Amino acid sequence: MRHDYPGDPVSVSPRYFRTDPWDIQSCGTPISLSSRDIGVLVREALLSFRNGNTYGNKSVLTPDPLELPSLIADQAQPWPTSIERLNWKLSTLVAVNETYGAVKIVGSNAYNRCLQRPRSQSTLLLLDKLSMRPLCVMDGTAISAARTGAYASIIAQAYRTDVDGLRVFVFGSGAVAARAITDLLAHCAERIERIHIKALTRTSVARLVTAFADAPCQVGEGKFDDLAGAHLIITATNAATPLFQADHLAGDAVVLHLGGDETPVELISETLALGTVACDDVASVASRGSQSLALYFSRQGLCLAQEKAGRGIFNFYPGMRLPAQAATSRCLITCVGLAALDLQLAAHVHERCEEAKRAARFP
């Protein structure tokens, strides 16, 4: 029996531009995307990106953190930088494929948590590629978390495809962590033995454990001792410092890095020496410059993008042939999340809406 897990399915209600660009109307019935749907679309997007049929860019504007006190005034205490990165930024991600263009605007500030709001929110705009006229606009917040979470099963299938009784350790209890677990259950539940969850507070962990109470595998609170038996470790936090020590991990552990500065230097050094470091896109991870892998190089006065070839760092994609040593060694995969994925999902939502409109006109 199928169960609905956190964020599954994603419901999207695009608004359409008519003759006047600001004359906006609803599509009607919201479009529902299951984790299965999203996983398939993300895989298609990664292959399209790899083949050069989809391409894009990202721009980030980061306000000076010293500006924060003047904006919050007496509302609250200054943000405690030792716990979580402020991650205060305004980002735009742009991409085009054979038919469409997309722009995603992301506003983020961890201080939002003090206001009982989500840390970040996204808006997605889909455009016709030829004219570059806007077609529709939609809330991209849930889509963003879902497409990032979809990396979980892709990596599990690519790196540990022969492992049954898969043990997964997830750092984080937010939207991306929840979506990663939901994605794993949608694509490889039969292979998973247990999922451990560890986060800043036990309350948030308990909430997520309860949400997955009907999962076909055990989902429970994780302890550092559990790391030694985990095949796949997923970091999905906004941490300002590493979440674990390299010697906590099994000798063949795969680390999927989805968040901030979460991965210890020792693990990065080891996996670089082994040739088992990969990214969804090295250039994008280097450009973002805020994740552990990029920071590992920048703190030495080096650049990840320039070190790629000499260090054997590669871009992964679904179904690729991995280095032989990746099957039995520790591996590190850093994913920044690509505009190509947002474009693929937005285009799919748009085409589903168009199909619904045609069906309504010609029942």
Could you tell me if 148 and 258 are in contact, meaning their C-beta atoms sit under 8 angstroms apart? yes
SS3 content of the chain, % helix, strand, coil (to 5): 40, 25, 35
* Dihedrals phi, psi of 114, to nearest 5 degrees: -65, -20
Q: Which pLDDT value is given to residue 177?
A: 96
Single out the residue of 129, 309, 150 nearest to residue 234, CA to CA.
150
Helix (H) or strand (E) holding 360: helix 339-361
HSE of 207, CA atoms in CB hemisphere, 13 A: 13
Q: Which pLDDT value is given to residue 8?
A: 78
| Exposed e or buried b per residue across 85-124, where buried means at least 16 C-beta atoms within 10 angstroms of its C-beta | bbbbbebebbbbbeebbbbbebebbbbbeeeeeebbebeb
Rounded to whole angstroms, how far apart are CA atoms 124 and 223? Answer: 38
List Cβ neighbours of 157 (8 Å cut-off, separation of 6 or more).
Answer: 187, 188, 318
Task: Give domain 149-337's CATH superfamily.
Answer: NAD(P)-binding Rossmann-like Domain (3.40.50.720)
DSSP character string of 129-148: TTT--EEEEEE-HHHHHHHH
Q: Which pLDDT value is given to residue 1?
A: 40
| Measured distance between the N- and C-terminal CA atoms of the chain, rounded to whole angstroms | 32
List Cβ neighbours of 70 (8 Å cut-off, separation of 6 or more).
Answer: none
Return the HEC string of 2-18.
CCCCCCCCEEECCEEEC
Q: Which pLDDT value is given to residue 66?
A: 86
Helix (H) or strand (E) holding 105: strand 100-108
pLDDT in tens, the chain (363 residues): 455 677 678 999 898 887 665 677 777 788 999 999 999 999 999 999 999 999 999 999 999 988 888 888 765 566 665 567 888 999 999 999 999 999 999 999 988 888 888 889 999 999 999 999 999 999 999 999 999 999 999 999 999 998 999 999 999 999 999 999 999 999 999 999 999 999 989 999 999 999 999 999 999 999 999 999 999 999 999 888 999 999 999 999 999 999 989 999 999 999 999 999 999 999 999 998 889 999 999 999 999 999 999 999 999 999 999 999 999 999 999 999 899 999 999 999 999 999 888 877 766
Which fold, 10-146+340-361?
ornithine cyclodeaminase, domain 1 (3.30.1780)
Could you tell me if 87 and 110 are in contact, meaning their C-beta atoms sit under 8 angstroms apart? yes
Rounded to whole angstroms, how far apart are CA atoms 38 and 182? Answer: 11
Q: Provide the residue ranges of all domains of the chain, joining segments of one domain with +.
A: 10-146+340-361, 149-337
3-state secondary structure of 228: helix
Q: Which pLDDT value is given to residue 20?
A: 64
